Amino acid sequence: MLASTGPGSDPGPRVVIKRVASETYSSGPALARAFGGPIIEPAWWPPDTEEISYSLAGAADHAHYDIGSIRAGGVPICVIGFWESAWKGRSPRDWLDGEWSEPSELAHLRGLVGKVGAPPSLQVVLYDHDLAIQLVGCRSESEIMRAVMSLRTVEPE
């Protein structure tokens, strides 16, 4: 059934699908160069993580990077990084439905841990060096803390 689109009618929620260019890189420094500045990545990954890949998607001011892999059972694990300005000061509470907590260990990074999606899975959002970072694919808060404690800044080559 099509929604009415006449004057004064509300067509309801809409979804816009765009194709964006995506490129894969061989290392963190190469990805940082393509991203246009430093990136943040974890040095620690869970032991069941396969080979790590580095990719960049989108245009310059709306680009995001993805560093990740697949865990046992086909579960994706990744870090997704954006320039914080692209989120225009919004909190994940504004754009991701879920239950969020603010562990004191992550206060210096304005870190939030949430259970998001159906079925709920853990996600982490951190802010550092003008970047907003999503960490997806951790199975426990101890994995989250280990990954966050291992975060490192990677400069462009």
Per-residue pLDDT of the chain (157 residues; tens, 9 = 90+): 444 455 666 666 776 665 556 789 999 999 999 998 999 999 999 999 999 999 999 866 678 999 999 999 899 999 999 888 877 777 777 777 788 899 999 999 988 899 888 788 899 999 887 889 999 999 999 999 999 999 999 999 7
Residue 11 domain-assigned (yes or no): no
Query: Rounded to whole angstroms, how far apart are CA atoms 117 and 124?
Result: 13
Residue type (1 letter), 157: E
Q: Give the tokens for residue 38.
A: 């430093």
pTM listed for this prediction: 0.80
CATH of residue 91's domain is 3.30.200.100
Query: Rounded to whole angstroms, how far apart are CA atoms 133 and 102?
Result: 15
Residue 12 domain-assigned (yes or no): no
CA dihedral 146, 108, 88, 102 (to 10 degrees): 70
Nearest-Å Rg of the Cα atoms of the chain is 17
